[in-house]
């Protein structure tokens, strides 16, 4: 078996030279910027998703109150309302799952940002960089943080989903002829 020095020139595979324009610092800076943008986007998406659900909920409830029921057959009306409120309930569950996933994405982005910060803190130990950062890997906010904005958005969606499920159950009871409703 030949060592690398004995191999013919055409068989030798050398590592390519790193261009002088590339630096670890610029790579880490670009990665940090990308991750920061990802974290920002996850927050924006949480607000957008919950707003979409609230607007959809409000629109369908508004449609409910504007129904012309004088000539409607009540059983058909109840069936339609059951479908509307069950659909809203499913939208609520879907929205909650999206909010959870977006919170997970934000947390993952923050962990990645803090990993880069930890690298720089280790590299520049003499500069005492660790005092410059409030959040570090061990101090980032928990994924579940009661009364945070993410929690309140999820609570809002859960409450509206519960109301819509309750309304669906109410109309199922009316359709079944239950007078105690």
The percentage of residues in the chain with a pLDDT greater than 70, rounded to a whole number, is 86
pTM, to two decimals:
0.72
Average pLDDT, the chain: 83
Extract the tokens encoding 14: 């050398």
pLDDT at 181: 53
The answer for residues whose C-beta is within 8 angstroms of residue 7's C-beta and 6 or more apart is: none
- The tokens for 158 are 């859960």
What is Dmax (Cα atoms) for the chain? Answer: 96
Structure confidence by residue, pLDDT tens digits, 51-65: 999 998 888 888 777
Which structure tokens are listed for 126? 């003499």
Residue 94: pLDDT band with limits 50, 70, 90:
very high
């Amino acid at each position: 078996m030949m060592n690398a020095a004995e191999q013919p020139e055409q068989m030798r595979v050398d590592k390519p030279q790193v261009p002088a324009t590339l630096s670890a610092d610029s790579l880490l800076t670009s990665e940090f910027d990308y991750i920061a943008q990802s974290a920002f986007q996850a927050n924006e998406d949480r607000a957008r998703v919950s707003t979409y659900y609230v607007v959809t909920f409000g629109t369908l409830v508004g449609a409910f109150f504007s129904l012309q029921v004088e000539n409607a057959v009540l059983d058909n009306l109840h069936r339609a309302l059951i479908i509307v409120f069950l659909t809203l309930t499913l939208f609520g569950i879907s929205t909650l799952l999206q909010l959870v996933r977006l919170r997970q994405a934000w947390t993952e982005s923050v962990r990645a940002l803090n990993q880069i910060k930890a690298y720089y803190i280790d590299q520049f130990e003499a500069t005492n960089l660790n005092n410059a950062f409030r959040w570090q890997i061990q101090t980032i906010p928990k994924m579940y943080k009661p009364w945070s904005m993410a929690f309140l958005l999820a609570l809002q969606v859960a409450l509206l989903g519960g109301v819509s499920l309750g309304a669906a159950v109410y109309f199922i009871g009316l359709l079944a002829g239950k007078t105690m409703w």
